[in-house]
Structure 1
Amino acid sequence: MHGDLHRENMIALPAGGVGLIDFDDCGTGHYLLDIATVLSSVHRIADTEPGGYVAFARAYLDGYTQVRPLPADWTRLLEPYLLLRDAFILNFVTQAAPVNADVASWAPRRIADIVANMQAYLEGHPYPGNLGY
């Protein structure tokens, strides 16, 4: 798996299509983490347009399943992988912010948003990015 498959690590290729960069987090793991990472990354920008995120997610998953099937229980597993992705982000920003001014500029807000999402999830609300199938 790529391990950090968010929108900033995808580039448009001159001949069309999408290329991937930043392979320093590649390793073995469940591919649903990469799917959750893509969906989480897009959710933060597409959710501002009504229906935008769900439309993207369905198109992305339709395309993905043309190459590789999803596990039968993927709808149950997606939400925990969305939480796991945010836990990775918390780990990254708490380590990087003290030594990286760019990360330090957005880290406090991102941390607050993730903690609020996790708290809401513990109170019974769906986690952001969950498609509610």
Structure 2
Amino acid sequence: MRFTAAAASGTPLCEQEYYSIGGGFIVRAGDDRARDASAPAGIPYPFSNARELLSQCRDNGLEIFELMLANECARSSEASVRAGLERIWNVMQACVERGFRQNGVLPGPLKVRRRAPKLYRQLTESATARPLEALDWVD
């Protein structure tokens, strides 16, 4: 993720990149830990990309969620991992709910009108009349 601080004129003042290395940790680009983070010690199923992840799953007879849980539990207790996931889920859910409750225009210079509230209303109103129609929205 790249962060840029800019002056009111838009001129960049400072820019910094960060990388997630798993387990809730991040490192700054160029940090030695960023280079060494691809296979942290003690991780039972290391991978660096999607192809390797799928290969690990296939070779070990695991679903992605099972492999990821095993990797996370190498650093924390399962209870701690699950509690962290629940916190993330709650934040994501609150973000979605805030999105379909706020009307008006999105922040920024483009003045884009918010569409989520109207779409949510249409979906929830039609769901009572035709419950299976909701499947069309997620397909």
TM above 0.5, one fold? Answer: no
TM-score (norm 1): 0.28
Identify the structure with bigger relative contact order (alpha carbons < 8 Å, sequence gap 6+). Answer: 1
TM-score (norm 2): 0.27
Between Structure 1 and Structure 2, the one with more helix by share is 1
